[in-house]
Amino acid sequence: MLTLQTWLVPALFIFLTTESIGELLDPCGYISPESPVVQLHSNFTAVCVLKEKCMDYFHVNANYIVWKTNHFTIPKEQYTIINRTASSVTFTDISSLNIQLTCNILTFGQLEQNVYGITIISGFLQFFVFRATHKFADCKAKRDTPTSCTVDYSTVYFVNIEVWVEAENALGKVTSDHINFDPVYKVKPNPPHNLSVINSEELSSILKLTWTNPSIKSVIRLKYNIQYRTKDASTWSQIPPEDTASTRSSFTVQDLKPFTEYVFRIRCMKEDGKGYWSDWSEEANGITYEDNKLFAIKSLTMRSKNEMSTLPPFEANGKILDYEVTLTRWKSHLQNYTVNDTKLTVNLTNDRYVATLTARNLVGKSDGTVLTIPACDFQATHPVMDLKAFPKDNMLWVEWTTPRESVKKYILEWCVLSDKAPCIADWQQEDGTVHRTHLRGNLAESKCYLITVTPVYADGPGSPESIKAYLKQAPPSKGPTVRTKKVGKNEAVLEWDQLPVDVQNGFIRNYTIFYRTIIGNETAVNVDSSHTEYTLSSLTSDTLYMVRMAAYTDEGGKDGPEFTFTTPKFAQGEIEAIVVPVCLAFLLTTLLGVLFCFNKRDLIKKHIWPNVPDPSKSHIAQWSPHTPPRHNFNSKDQIYSDGNFTDVSVVEIEANDKKPFPEDLKSLDLFKKEKINTEGHSSGIGGSSCMSSSRPSISSSDENESSQNTSSTVQYSTVVHSGYRHQVPSVQVFSRSESTQPLLDSEERPEDLQLVDHVDGSDDILPRQQYFKQNCSQHESSPDISHFERSKQVSSVNEEDFVRLKQQISDHISQSCGSGEMKMFQEVSAADAFGPGTEGQVERFETIGMEATIDEGMPKSYLPQTVRQGGYMPQ
Amino acid sequence: LPPPAHLCLLTLLLPLLSSAAPISPAESISQAYSLALYMQKNTSMLLQTYLQYQGSPFSDPGFSAPELQLSSLPPATAFFKTWRTLDDGERLSLAQGAFLALTQHLQLVRDDQSDLNPGSPILLAQLGTARLRAQGLLGNMATIMTALGLPMLPEEDTLGLVAFGASAFERKCRGYVVTREYGHWTDRAVRDLALLKAKYPA
């Protein structure tokens, strides 16, 4: 058999040999076992036994033994003291292949004395054996790499070789399975070397690579991988493998950028793919040649009407020496400028200009780039439509719909929108046929890009269209700061500012407002991103609320700081709503009171400051010379003022009749009626309004006498009063003191009245009517001053009486009576004046006028009661 | 000669190919043919290298001595009709015999050269490689014959008597004939195996 054969032996045991090292001439002890054979990853225990003699000499025992491996002390935990002479050490899971184990004793002064040592040697032994015609030399594995072996021999390809591994140790010898293979299928070639790059003067877009193939090329055919990148790039591009699938020593890389430095590398393997790729070759650099065709100047831009600048060349294709700008003013004027900078400032008029820019490098001149500067009155129109921007494959794509007009080209400008930095535009140009492109530039994530697309027509630029886009959104880096704009009792108006564009990191899709009380659960409200205000309703009053806000982009959200506010106890205006009406009501009441007082000021004045007549101003003497007695009376009576004389009269009365009831006016009144004619008449008349009706009640209560007296008294008083009234109405006072005199007058015809009274004693009204009639007739027919005056006086008396009466028995008197006290007075006078009025009360009221409305029916219905009451009270 | 490729045996341990696996005739023929082709590429270089190291007249340009022959080496030239009409077994046996002789002669030449030109490792390596390849081709042919079920030739000492006391020139001439015939026999083996390959396509 000529076939080469090999044996393979797996070696899985540690080959442990021992040798005594550092052995003393007379060792102090020994390690057992001397030559153990231990399987790999198994446990191993060694025992060190000290000799008695040594122990005595050093004054030590087994506790003093220290084990060491390769001069490192083994932890005490692995020791076991067997007896005073022996200590053992245990290794678990032996993995190290070369261990030097020593047994030491710690002698006096912590000096370590080596006692005995063994070396554990372990490893694999491998053999490669060619039997029959040829046997290669054995390949012995090195100790430190026991699982691999490098054979150094001139390989014979297309011949199968057999390989096996043999391992041998104290336990025996083991042989592995044999493997049989043709080395040609296991080739890992050396990498191609001497890689060099040659550029071409003819073509600026190609570079030619040459290399030297590895020697294996004489045995096998090769295929290659060629990779390249620009010098600054980090990722490699690979030439399609099918282009390099056969043995070669050169390759021309095409479609490269002019004037650009590229880096190349190459590797190879057997053409059919059986075997292994070689390592990559060393890298080689090359620069493409400058291109005479500069499509460098991509665009001219106009910053303002007076300033025109070229943006930096997009692709220089070589070192640009200078630029040439030709400015044509509407076919007439030609101006040439040569600049080294990328900016040119020219003063222009308002006309239309055409600027042509060319760049020049070593090779030649570029094609011209034309910029039409429209006239001042030019109106940009026809923007692109449906502008869209979206990220895809880690690039930002822009897509638009072409306008109807034929577009020469599109200018895409973009910049990072930021509040901190100005918008520095980057740009690129696209052909007029393009309607979708990606931004060629280094775009950052979570930055807002403002992309502007401007179509360029034959006559100038069209209107630009802008759109914002993100390459990749992220949650905002800051949350919105919410604050309250207005806090009501049950609601709060929150407001916030839009997040600055720098922290947005994406399109804010919505906000979420979280609010809670200290104890309550958090409530979340979603708000559309267009809002900057939100009203929280149905809040609890007088409560501390904590509110915070989160802004969300497509990628997530971020909370803003928490804001606290307290809802007030009362809603705005609530206090006012309570206070103002209260104040108003108070004011109104006060006002009414004041008004009332004002209206009644005479009465009040009368009550508080009695009107004391000035006797010196009395003129009675002048107008009543024919009645001297009256004169006297008048002068006498003048002392008493209108309001006061009643009191005086009362006093007089009291002076006459102190026995009865001085306090009770009513009773006094009655008393007067009953007992004193002079006084009684006045009081009787005084009560005319009230009393007139009371009289019937009194009479009905079978007090005929009193009623008779009263009626007679009335008669008298009336006569007297009327007599005076015609002359001096204001000086009724006099009448009082004349009480005796009227009696004389009235006595002229007392029978008539008394008769009537007597006849109709049972019917009160009738005599009274009669009396009134008389009174009235008297008043009308005879302008007897004394008579009239008398009645007036009586009425005043009556009024006074009534006031007092009302004051004293106010609890008994009904409201109507009380409120109408003043009216009663007038009524009385009216009643006196119009006797018949008593018959038809309504009529009488009508004549009275304004009093009637307030005082309706009072004299008829209530006054009798009060009188009656008064009448009864004495009883 | 190519430097020896490094074989990482660790990787070879993984795919355990059975040596007992029967190899198809087409496979072994193809392998032998590839080897023969590979050898053919190097035979002229071996001869050139050999002559270059032997000095004049061997190293003279255009040196050729076709009449020099070795009785112990069977001639590679044959009548085409005779060669073509041989059956596979006979043809392979002839080649096998020739390469068996060549391996021994190449060893002899290498020994001579290590004596005559000790400072020429390239030549010695090429001679050694040539002998290894010849041995490999022998092994491949044996595999083919086994696969085709042809009888194996018994190994014999084809070299016969060797004049150990030959002069340096004689040894140089002997080496020249061996390296030249190695090339010729390699050429013939390529033709042999090409015929066989056509007969047993994969």
B154 close to A (CB below 8 A): no
Q: What is the pLDDT of residues A107-139, one digit of tens each?
A: 777 777 787 877 765 544 444 443 334 667 777
Whole-angstrom distance, CA of residue B50 vs CA of residue A335: 80
DSSP sequence for A505-527: -S---EEEEEEEESSSPPEEEEE
**Is the sign of the CA dihedral A73, A77, A80, A81 positive or negative?**
positive
B24 close to A (CB below 8 A): no
B89 close to A (CB below 8 A): no
Query: Which residue in A has a C-alpha nearest to residue B3's C-alpha?
Result: A154
The pLDDT mean for chain A works out to 68
Cis amide leading into A33 (omega within 30): yes
Q: What is the pLDDT of residues A307-339, one digit of tens each?
A: 444 445 445 556 677 777 787 776 666 778 887
Instruction: Give the closest residue to A830 by CA, choosing from A849, A805, A806, A848.
Output: A848
Arithmetic mean of pLDDT, A839-844: 44
* pLDDT greater than 70 at residue B7: no
Contact: B5, A147; criterion CB under 8 Å: no
* Exposure b/e, A736-771, CB count within 10 A at least 16 = b: bbbbebbbebbeeeeeebbebbeebbeebbbbbbbb
Task: Show contacts of A16-21: CB within 8 Å, 24+ apart.
Answer: A16/A120, A16/A121, A16/A122, A16/A170, A17/A119, A17/A120, A17/A121, A17/A170, A18/A118, A18/A119, A18/A120, A19/A118, A19/A119, A20/A116, A20/A117, A20/A118, A21/A100, A21/A102, A21/A117, A21/A118, A21/A119
Instruction: Output the pLDDT for position B179.
Output: 94
pLDDT band at A97 (very low <50, low <70, confident <90, very high): low
Instruction: Output the pLDDT for position A35.
Output: 62
B101 close to A (CB below 8 A): no
Radius of gyration in angstroms for the set of CA atoms belonging to chain A, rounded to a whole number: 68
Chain B residues inside the 8 Å CB shell of A5: 19
Q: What is the dihedral of CA A710, A714, A717, A720, to 10 degrees?
A: -140
Q: E strands along chain B, which residues?
A: none
Instruction: Output the pLDDT for position A24.
Output: 43
Tokens of A574: 């609530």
Whole-angstrom distance, CA of residue A92 vs CA of residue A73: 16
Q: How many Cβ atoms are within 10 Å of A845's Cβ, its own excluded?
A: 23
Q: Three-class SS of residue A596?
A: helix
Q: Is the distance from CB of B105 to CB of B76 less than 8 angstroms?
A: no
More confident call, A404 vs A755: A404
Q: What is the pLDDT of residues A198-216, one digit of tens each?
A: 988 777 788 999 999 998 8
User: Looking at domain B25-60+69-199, which of 1.20.210.10, 3.40.50.880, 1.10.3720.10, 1.20.1250.10 is its CATH number?
Assistant: 1.20.1250.10
Whole-angstrom distance, CA of residue B188 vs CA of residue B176: 18
Instruction: Output the pLDDT for position A15.
Output: 37
Q: Which of A675-679, A692-696, B196-200 has the highest mean pLDDT?
A: B196-200
Q: What is the pLDDT of residues A507-566, one digit of tens each?
A: 888 888 888 888 878 888 888 888 888 888 888 888 888 888 888 888 888 888 888 888
Whole-angstrom distance, CA of residue A668 vs CA of residue A666: 5
* pLDDT greater than 80 at residue A852: no
Tokens of A157: 């390809």
B136 close to A (CB below 8 A): yes
A3 close to B (CB below 8 A): yes
The pLDDT mean for chain B works out to 83
Q: What is the pLDDT of residues A53-73, one digit of tens each?
A: 878 887 888 888 888 887 788
Q: Is the distance from CB of B53 to CB of B117 less than 8 angstroms?
A: yes
Chain B residues inside the 8 Å CB shell of A181: 12, 15, 17
Q: Three-class SS of residue B199?
A: helix
Instruction: Output the pLDDT for position A628.
Output: 53
Q: How many Cβ atoms are within 10 Å of A682's Cβ, its own excluded?
A: 36
How distant, in Å, are the alpha carbons of A498, B100, B143, B184 from that of B96? 94, 6, 12, 14
Instruction: Output the pLDDT for position A592.
Output: 92
Query: Which residue in A has a C-alpha nearest to residue B16's C-alpha?
Result: A179
Q: Crossing angle, helix B88-116 and helix B121-148, to 10 degrees?
A: 160
More confident call, A84 vs A847: A84
Contact: A134, B132; criterion CB under 8 Å: yes
Query: Which residue in B has a C-alpha nearest to residue A5's C-alpha?
Result: B19
Per domain, the residue ranges of chain B are 25-60+69-199
Instruction: Output the pLDDT for position A285.
Output: 92
Q: Three-class SS of residue A62?
A: helix
pLDDT band at A378 (very low <50, low <70, confident <90, very high): low
Q: Three-class SS of residue A118?
A: strand
Q: Which of A318-327, A595-604, B31-40 has the highest mean pLDDT?
A: B31-40
Query: At B164, phi and psi to the nearest 5?
Result: -70, -20
Instruction: Output the pLDDT for position A25.
Output: 54
- Which residue type occupies B200? Y
Instruction: Output the pLDDT for position A591.
Output: 92
Instruction: Output the pLDDT for position A292.
Output: 53
More confident call, A79 vs A694: A79
What is the distance in angstroms between the CA of the first residue and the CA of the last residue of chain A?
171
Contact: B140, A159; criterion CB under 8 Å: yes
**Is the sign of the CA dihedral B135, B139, B145, B149 positive or negative?**
positive
Tokens 């595999």 sit on residue? B143
Instruction: Output the pLDDT for position A55.
Output: 81
Arithmetic mean of pLDDT, A275-292: 86
Which residues, including other chains, have CB under 8 Å from residue A213's CB and lie 6 or more apart? Answer: A192, A222, A247, A249, A268
Whole-angstrom distance, CA of residue B167 vs CA of residue B173: 10
Query: How close is the nearest chain B Cα to the Cα of A151, in Å?
Result: 7
B4 close to A (CB below 8 A): yes
Arithmetic mean of pLDDT, A489-497: 84
More confident call, A858 vs A428: A428
Whole-angstrom distance, CA of residue A410 vs CA of residue A434: 8
Residue A56, Cα to own-chain centre: how many angstroms?
A: 90
Percent of chain A with pLDDT over 70: 57
Chain B residues inside the 8 Å CB shell of A182: 31
Instruction: Output the pLDDT for position A203.
Output: 79
More confident call, A464 vs B45: B45
Q: What is the pLDDT of residues B151-184, one digit of tens each?
A: 876 766 666 667 677 888 999 999 999 999 999 9
* pLDDT greater than 70 at residue B114: yes
Q: What is the dihedral of CA A25, A27, A33, A35, to 10 degrees?
A: -10
Instruction: Output the pLDDT for position B193.
Output: 94
DSSP sequence for A303-331: SSSSEEEEPPPS--SS-EEEEEEEEEETT
Instruction: Output the pLDDT for position A688.
Output: 42
Arithmetic mean of pLDDT, A401-422: 80
Contact: B136, A156; criterion CB under 8 Å: yes
* Exposure b/e, A827-839, CB count within 10 A at least 16 = b: bbbbbbbbbebbe
pLDDT band at A157 (very low <50, low <70, confident <90, very high): confident
Arithmetic mean of pLDDT, A430-457: 83
Tokens 């001869």 sit on residue? B47
Q: Is the distance from CB of A720 to CB of A786 less than 8 angstroms?
A: yes
Least confident of A88-102, A605-619, A775-789: A775-789
Angle at A791 between CA A789 and CA A794, to 5 degrees: 110
Tokens of A832: 């006196």
* Exposure b/e, A398-416, CB count within 10 A at least 16 = b: bbbebbeeebebbbbbbbb
Whole-angstrom distance, CA of residue A522 vs CA of residue A516: 5
Query: How close is the nearest chain A Cα to the Cα of B136, in Å?
Result: 5
Instruction: Output the pLDDT for position A514.
Output: 87
Chain B residues inside the 8 Å CB shell of A219: 2, 38
Tokens of A300: 């001219």
Least confident of A246-260, A462-476, A525-539, A834-848: A834-848
* pLDDT greater than 90 at residue A172: no
Contact: B31, A150; criterion CB under 8 Å: no
Tokens 């509407």 sit on residue? A330
Chain B residues inside the 8 Å CB shell of A124: none
B158 close to A (CB below 8 A): no
